[in-house]
Homo-oligomer: A and B are copies of this chain.
Amino acid sequence: MVKSKEEVVQEFRVQSIQEAAMRVIARKGMNAATMAEIAKEAGIAKGTIYLYFRDRDELVEKTFERAIAQLHERVDTVLALGLPIEEKLRELFRAQMAFFRENAEFFRLYLSLRIPSGTSHQKRWQKRHCAPQYQQRITAFASVLEEAMERGEVRRVDPYRLALFLIEGAIAITFERLNESAPPSEESDVDLIVGLAVEGIVIRKQKRSTN
């Protein structure tokens, strides 16, 4: 019982530190987010962070993992549904856009860690701890696309490249939305992306027969 109470307090501290870290990283970016400011944001002293995280790297890593696990969960849920590919895409982009709206703080962290930068040591660290999380996301999407190719729903191309192209294109639009004072409805942007992905951009005079 006593132990459980301590664990709850521990858990609360860890969580509030991570949430503070996400907010600060969202404001200042990956490199400029200092331990001092994260501590201040969490309303604790700088040293306290080191009672719960070995060093700055571990804090960022755990924070990133916690957040991306939530994204994974949502996206995997909709990808697991046996929908036709067009609907799968729609649900995927919808889930991704909603997630980044609700966790706008996380978005910048995500963008920062996608591309390794910093000292060679930091780069190695990122490649080992964060790139896999990102790649796993692309790979999961790629295998969904590959299945659709085998079912004859999608043209045969390199599925990993296709997944990269679509996800990064969608992220670019999601990022653009964050910088707009009055972005259009999410649904209309999802429609735009799905439309581009499915039909491409050219106008066809002849009506297509989907089957």
Residues of A within 8 A of B (CB): 27-32, 85-86, 108, 111-112, 115-120, 122-123, 145, 152-155, 157-158, 160-162, 164-173, 175-176, 184, 189, 192-193, 195-206, 208-211
Contact = CB atoms under 8 A, between A and B. Distances in A.
B176 A164 contact: yes
Given A154-B203, A171-B168, A172-B168, A29 B123 contact: yes
A144 to B, nearest CB: 12
A210 to B, nearest CB: 7
A29 B161 contact: no
B172 A164 contact: yes
Contacts of A29: 116-118, 123
A203 B169 contact: no
B202 A154 contact: yes
B157 A192 contact: yes
Q: How many copies does the complex hold?
A: 2
A89 B31 CA distance: 36
15 contacts: A29-B117, A31-B117, A31-B118, A145-B201, A153-B203, A155-B202, A155-B203, A158-B184, A161-B189, A165-B169, A165-B172, A165-B173, A169-B169, A196-B200, A200-B200
A131 to B, nearest CB: 9
A166 B164 contact: no
Given A28-B118, A198-B201, 11 more contacts: A29-B116, A29-B117, A115-B175, A154-B201, A166-B169, A197-B201, A199-B200, A202-B210, A205-B210, A206-B208, A206-B209
Contacts of A202: 85-86, 153-155, 198-199, 210
Nearest to A122: B32
Contacts of A30: 117
B193 A165 contact: yes
A26 to B, nearest CB: 10
